[in-house]
Amino acid sequence: MPVTKFNTPEKYKYQNGFGSYHESEAIAGALPIGANSPQKPPYGLYAEKLSGTAFTAPRHENQQTWLYRILPSAAHSPFQAREQSSYNTNPEGDKMHQIPNQLRWDPFDLDESVDWVHSLKLVAGAGDPTLKNGLGILIFAAGSSMAKNEAFYSSDGDFLIVLQHGVLDIQTELGHILVRPNEICIIPRGIRYRVELPAGPVRGYILELYQGHFQLPELGPIGSNCLANARDFQAPVAHFEEAPAGEYTIISKFNGHLFAASQTHTPYDVVAWHGLYYPYKYDLGRFNTMGSISFDHPDPSIFTVLSAPSDHVGTAIADFVIFPPRWLVGEDTFRPPWYHRNTMSEFMGLIGGEYDAKTGGGFQPAGASLHNIMSAHGPDAGTHEKASNAELKPTKVGEGNWGLKQCKKVQEDYNESWTPLQPHFKLPEGVKRVSNLVEGVDESPAGLDIGKSINGNGASGEVNQGALPHYT
């Protein structure tokens, strides 16, 4: 299957690979050699460790990244509660009401009056972010970019962002990521970022994972390749800014509520980094679909892109599954998904086109459905009648369609320990920045609308920026 063709050309460089140990520097020599925290890091930078797992987690599970930044992220004022959010309550202030009914939503409206942070709405979930178990399902519909002096992060969980409409230009601490329809983006818990909307309003879905992190599913008898391949995941390259002094706002999503702190330096000052804990993106057009070539419809787990395993082997906290364009050839087979009840709740969003298990326009792009645990569901009546009597010739289905499957002991002045920190960063004469932009891409707003092939084959051109050498 060819990679997705995008109307918006790629403009950033990336490092390829899922779960790979990456390193990047925006200035040659910014990464310390042979040490993580030398007495004096290069260029007067501060060393800061970002941990995504416990320090004592087994080596194969341990995720951490070392950042080398102009000022540490601890240098900000105390967080203060902000406006009431809709991340975990309804307007009346009650906790979300959960029912066993099958549910379906009409397309969610675009809201051009809000930015990314204030567009996030929790519509479903299970578990508790304070206990770090379970997940939340959010929808977003934003019409304006975040302010230049803002950064947002979630303390509650990892964001798996599925874009349905528009383009997201995300500036993270570790570098830039451009997200277009048919691409997904994962931003791990705690990583700070801001979202720009270069092509106007955006809309989509988010799976927020409160527990653990996403992994590639085991392939078992499939072998060593197919489904989502590790090499097709892309991580940002280092990029930093030296913004003038001024007030910056750090917005935290903490237990479903918003808090804000201020600081007098940019949060996007990471000059170099190395580690396993970073944001990344994936083009769903690169998913290598598997299926039956004899008879019977396989379990939908065959379409799993990413999985979040639980402590019980074989049972996931969440699976992210897609139903991409694919051929159906099964003989004497009811080809749409069969009717079923199962132990996993299924939330589905439609990016575009028609879902092959539903007819009549009831399930529309930008809409959603929820089939809770043991709630019976399957094809609607029209689909059942059609599929039961169809000529069983090879058929291509799912084109243009992507689915989403779900104490009074506090020291009040503690934050003041870090506010006096001062930058010591100095760039020696003659040392140049390493560009994070793809050569030849027009950065102007008009340039973003050009359906331009960078690699000459009609697909988007992502450039692999690997680790820089330290030969002296």
User: How far is residue 321's CA from residue 86's CA, in Å, rounded to a whole number?
Assistant: 26
Q: Which of 163-167, 286-290, 444-448 has the lowest mean pLDDT?
A: 444-448
Q: Which helix (H) or strand (E) holds 383?
A: helix 381-389
Instruction: Report the number of distinct structural domains present in the chain.
Output: 2
For 45, 140, 183, 400, the CA distances from 353, given in Å and listed in that order, are 50, 20, 16, 5
Structural domain contains residue 439 = no
**Residue 208: other Cβ atoms inside 10 A:** 27
The answer on 206 and 306 residing in a single domain is no
471 assigned to a ligand binding site: no
Structural domain contains residue 466 = no
Structural domain contains residue 145 = yes
Structure tokens given for 123: 């519509």
User: How far is residue 267's CA from residue 249's CA, in Å, rounded to a whole number?
Assistant: 9
**Residue 225: other Cβ atoms inside 10 A:** 10
What end-to-end distance do the CA atoms of the chain give, in Å? 43
Assign residue 119 a region (left: φ > 0; alpha: ψ between -120 and 50; beta: otherwise).
Answer: alpha
Residue finishing a domain among 397, 428, 452: 397
The answer on 53 and 29 residing in a single domain is yes
Structural domain contains residue 461 = no
Closest CA to 145 of 113, 173, 174: 113
Percent of the chain with pLDDT over 70: 83
For 129, 226, 302, 304, the CA distances from 218, given in Å and listed in that order, are 27, 11, 11, 10
The answer on 354 and 207 residing in a single domain is no
Closest CA to 291 of 244, 255, 316, 325: 325
Closest CA to 127 of 187, 52, 209: 209
Residue finishing a domain among 339, 374, 397: 397
What is the separation of C-alpha 267 from the centre of its chain, rounded to a whole number of angstroms? 20
* pLDDT tens by residue, 163-221: 999 999 999 999 999 999 999 999 999 999 999 999 999 999 999 999 999 999 999 99
Structural domain of residue 393, as residue ranges?
Answer: 288-397
346 assigned to a ligand binding site: yes
What global pTM score does this model have?
Answer: 0.83
Active site residue 22: no
Where are the strands (E) in 180-298, listed by range? Answer: 183-187, 193-196, 202-209, 233-236, 248-254, 257-263, 270-275, 280-283
Q: Catalytic residue, from 257, 297, 312, 384: name it.
A: 297
Residue finishing a domain among 397, 432, 467: 397
Q: pLDDT band at 386, cuts 50/70/90?
A: confident
The answer on 304 and 251 residing in a single domain is no
The answer on 261 and 294 residing in a single domain is no
Structural domain contains residue 449 = no
User: How far is residue 158's CA from residue 184's CA, in Å, rounded to a whole number?
Assistant: 13
Closest CA to 47 of 365, 217, 273, 343: 273
Q: Which residues contact 313 (CB under 8 A, 6 or more apart)?
A: none
Structural domain contains residue 8 = no
Check which CATH number belongs to the domain holding 303 and give it.
Answer: 2.60.120.10
Check pLDDT > 50 for residue 121: yes
What mean pLDDT is predicted for residues 223-241?
A: 96
Average pLDDT of the chain to the nearest whole number: 83
Q: Which helix (H) or strand (E) holds 118?
A: helix 116-119
User: How far is residue 439's CA from residue 452's CA, in Å, rounded to a whole number?
Assistant: 13
The answer on 109 and 20 residing in a single domain is yes
The answer on 162 and 104 residing in a single domain is yes
The answer on 321 and 238 residing in a single domain is no
Structural domain contains residue 426 = no
User: How far is residue 125's CA from residue 96's CA, in Å, rounded to a whole number?
Assistant: 9
Q: What is the DSSP letter of 449?
A: G
Q: pLDDT band at 443, cuts 50/70/90?
A: low
Structural domain contains residue 409 = no
The answer on 250 and 109 residing in a single domain is yes
The answer on 265 and 134 residing in a single domain is yes
* pLDDT tens by residue, 302-349: 999 999 999 888 889 999 999 888 898 988 888 887 787 878 888 888
The answer on 361 and 280 residing in a single domain is no
pLDDT value of residue 193 = 98
Contact yes or no for 216/222 (Cβ under 8 A): no
The answer on 177 and 79 residing in a single domain is yes
Where are the strands (E) in 92-181, listed by range? Answer: 103-105, 121-128, 133-142, 150-154, 158-165, 168-172, 175-179
| 3-state helix/strand/coil string of 388-427 | HHCCCCCEEECCCCCECCCCCCCCCCHHHHCCCCCCCCCC
Closest CA to 258 of 131, 415, 85: 85
